Amino acid sequence: MNTSAALQIAAKVAQLTELCTTFQAKFGRRFAFTPESPAEAYELHRAICDIQADIAELLDPESLHNPMKKASEWWRWQNTMDMATAGELAQEINHLIASCAYAEASPCEDGTYHAISAAQEAIAGMLHPDVRERVLVR
């Protein structure tokens, strides 16, 4: 992981925040899907999952195997990530960017930066487990 890749993830998190906010504004925070749900709800949900997959693909694979349970497991009580979780994800990506920038500016001898690994694992832990699994299988 480097600063350039972290910035790419940040751009995806910004897109995810927009989609989550749009979904929540239109359908509510704990919207429950039914066969009668509007097509737009399904389309937004799919787009939210796709952006999460894009984020997962940019993370180091080890972080997907070892996701940190730093944040709440939102998928246990709602179908779609909400604005609050997207905000937590944005904070964690800022931590990742800072950690990568620090590592690049002041390299250590063995090249191991636990802050970078921890930030990636925290980000992975906020992504839906089905999305993480789908990316790992690819």
pLDDT tens digits, 110-123: 767 899 999 999 99
Number of compact structural domains in the chain: 1
Measured CA to CA, the distance from residue 133 to residue 137 in angstroms comes to 6
Measured CA to CA, the distance from residue 54 to residue 8 in angstroms comes to 10
Q: How confident is the model at residue 99 (pLDDT cuts 50, 70, 90)?
A: very high
pLDDT tens digits, 23-76: 999 998 889 899 999 999 999 999 999 999 999 999 999 999 999 987 789 999
Cβ burial 105-116 (10 Å sphere, 16+ → b, else e): eeeeeeeebeeb
Q: Which domain holds residue 78?
A: 3-137
Q: How confident is the model at residue 96 (pLDDT cuts 50, 70, 90)?
A: very high
Q: Give this prediction's pTM.
A: 0.93
3-state class (DSSP) for residue 73: coil
Q: What is the DSSP letter of 75?
A: G
